[in-house]
Amino acid sequence: MKYIIFNWKSYLNLKESENLSNIISKIKKSKNYKIISAPNNFFLLSLVKKFKANTFAAQNFDLDGRGASTGSLDISHLIENNIKYTLIGHSEMRSNHGETDKIVHKKLELSIENKLIPIVCIGESLKVYKSKKTKNFLNSQIKTIFKKSHKYDEIILAYEPLWSIGTGLTPDLSEINDICKYLSNILEKYSFKKINILYGGSVNLSNVSDILNLQFIDGVLVGSASTKTPFINYFK
């Protein structure tokens, strides 16, 4: 089964999010795909209540967000409303809000404590990619985020090269498969009950089939393309 995660970011208003959620609700359950939607957090609760058969993820939550923390979303708010998944460490949280691998580690631990399934995002910059140090960089991220002494339950790891997100540029298919094979190999040194490796970065209708057919890919994390009806209908 392949994981298909729609990250709608802040592209959609509530009505548009409802329209897409309605389309998804009519897609028959399949052994081939598990569809998870990550709408803007402001609309998340409304959508969860209205589309009970759909699976949703939070785009983010804040550490120590409960109490005197204006504008924050605490993890308890997700638990209380039966949210099962959350993105952690997305590139835009890193670049726009200063989220570091150490913060991602803390969020990972908090997610696990609260029985949320984390979708952990990692990826290299264009500078790292051009210097051919991608694997070393990703290994460093994993060492900071995960601990070999811990036993993890279900984790989703999304490899999203920063230089590919929203640019229309993607690594060659062979590069994507090679990186995800590398990640699979180094993650064997850690204790996971279940680990799935996804690719994210300018995934669209023209390349999604080829990406999903790669040997070491367990799914895709999709941004702007997932806000388009034809892309969603591909998974019917």
Q: Would you please indicate which residues are annotated as catalytic (active-site) residues? A: 90, 160
Closest among 153, 171, 196, 177 to 2, alpha carbons compared: 196
When computed from its CA atoms, the radius of gyration of the chain, rounded to whole angstroms, is: 17
Dist CA 38 CA 43 (whole Å): 10
Strands (E), 1-98: 2-7, 33-38, 57-58, 85-88
Question: What are the strands of the beta sheet with 2-7, ordered from one edge?
Answer: 33-38, 2-7, 219-222, 191-200, 151-159, 117-122, 85-88, 57-58
Q: Which residues 6+ apart lie within 8 Å of 190 measured at CB?
A: 142, 146, 147, 148, 150, 152
Contact status, residue 236 vs residue 43, Cβ threshold 8 Å: no
What are the backbone dihedrals phi and psi of residue 40, each rounded to the nearest 5 degrees, phi first? Answer: -55, 135
Name the one residue in this structure whose structure tokens are 């895709």: 220
Q: What is the C-alpha to C-alpha distance for residues 113 and 61, in angstroms, rounded to an integer? A: 14
